[in-house]
Structure 1
């Protein structure tokens, strides 16, 4: 059985975000990590590999990003993944990433695709659904529990009504969240073995669906004025002045 675990590389939530002179986010000094929800997905894949020895599970990491991402990929390999694929392209949007995953899987079949329910930078939560649509597979998210037996997946997903238990046949695309697994910490043996594991670099299968021509962040000074029903005319006067300036 082959499990493809798709990971994102995102800024650590404790990092201080600052803008550069051209109004882009200044990446210097930022700490990058594997997306937390992808950590859950990878951890569950490792648990399945350890418990279902007879299935001979192979875990393949998949990432769309630049060469600088390989440091993070190595950390994920140290946890227990067997190999990694890096598509050498900047991830611009969910559809582009989904197309890259789908095109790879069409050429290199897998049984199960695991990923986070969303990334913590853009939080679109669309990649698993788009990937499943492109492959004509079933998709479930957010998955809180996963077990596999006889080519059948038993999952628990969070819904507006509560927790729902479902069964579905492979192949599947699953978006994962806590408490599907406990986060893993790489062992020294895992760290050493990760150095020799293959990270295969592929050119992009598709072109980005858009390019950024201009990107600006407008700084706005908050006036800190409280308006009540009695002084709404003052608010209208301020709006008129601001619209003319």
Structure 2
């Protein structure tokens, strides 16, 4: 069984994001980029399936700018077998919308015929949480979102999903789309020897035209703004004063 893992190049989660002065977007100049953390978890889970003998090949795919090669090499260094880069933008500030990504992934799925597609549930840059679900709709595959655990047995997968009330366990028939939550696993660090080996692993470069997909944006970002700053706290001298302040604020 092949396992396909889409990965996205995003601002590193340790970096404080800066909004451009004109509000047109996020400033990416000289900013450290890395693999989306949810996608990193997806890659780890795919590699674990291969190590357990449940999968024969792990393929990582990225859709975006040419610099996403670095992200794919990270996936290869972790243990993926080969990579596919679909260069769909020239400007690092251009984000490919989920529907376009899902259409491209659907074309790749048709070509590669994986038994399982494992996606991060969302990207930390736009938090849309839509690509996996759209891909399931386009391919007709079963889907299991927000996976907390994943077990593959024969032609089916059992997934414990994180829901508001706790965990919901479902069983889906393969091929299927699974989207990962944070508690699914702890991704490994790529060792230096594996980083060197990753440079020799195959990385195919494609364009949206190769798959006949239009990636023109359907949405317009009107404005980007930083969250409002939190107001400073108020020091109180007694419990009675605390109660009075809470009453004034309408908290009680």
Structure 2 length as normaliser, TM-score? 0.80
- Listed as ranges, the gaps of 5+ residues in structure 1 are 225-245
C-alpha displacement of 1:14: 2.8
The reply to whether residue 39 of structure 1 matches residue 40 of structure 2 is: yes
Contact 2:8 2:68 in 1 (8 A): no
Structure-2 change in CA distance of 1:202 and 1:20 (3 Å): farther
Structure 1 distance, partners of 2:206, 2:166, is 41
Contact 2:7 2:71 in 1 (8 A): no
2:161 equivalent among 146, 157, 163: 157
Structure 2 distance, partners of 1:196, 1:158, is 38
The reply to whether residue 118 of structure 1 matches residue 119 of structure 2 is: no
Structure 1 distance, partners of 2:51, 2:220, is 47
Contact 2:3 2:114 in 1 (8 A): yes
The reply to whether residue 86 of structure 1 matches residue 85 of structure 2 is: yes
Q: Tell me the residue number matched to 1:2.
A: 2
**Counterparts in 2 of 1:1-245, with a 5 A limit?**
1-16=1-16, 17-19=18-20, 23-52=24-53, 55-90=54-89, 91-204=95-208, 205=211, 206-210=213-217, 216-217=223-224
Instruction: Report how many aligned residue pairs link the two structures.
Output: 221
C-alpha displacement of 1:144: 0.7
Structure 2 distance, partners of 1:145, 1:171, is 17
Contact 1:139 1:174 in 2 (8 A): yes
Q: Tell me the residue number matched to 1:241.
A: none
* Superposed CA RMSD: 2.4
- Listed as ranges, the gaps of 5+ residues in structure 2 are 90-94, 232-252
Structure 1 distance, partners of 2:204, 2:222, is 32
Moved beyond 3 Å, runs of 4+: 20-24, 211-219
Contact 1:11 1:121 in 2 (8 A): yes
C-alpha displacement of 1:13: 2.7
Contact 1:132 1:139 in 2 (8 A): yes
Structure-2 change in CA distance of 1:213 and 1:98 (3 Å): closer
C-alpha displacement of 1:203: 1.1
Structure 2 distance, partners of 1:180, 1:69, is 24
CA displacement, residues 137-173 of structure 1 (integer Å, 9 cap, x when unaligned): 1111101101111122111101223201222210000
Structure 1 length as normaliser, TM-score? 0.82
C-alpha displacement of 1:130: 0.3
Contact 1:24 1:215 in 2 (8 A): no
Structure-2 change in CA distance of 1:212 and 1:159 (3 Å): closer
Q: Secondary structure at the match of 1:185?
A: coil
**Segment drifting more, 144-153 vs 205-214:** 205-214
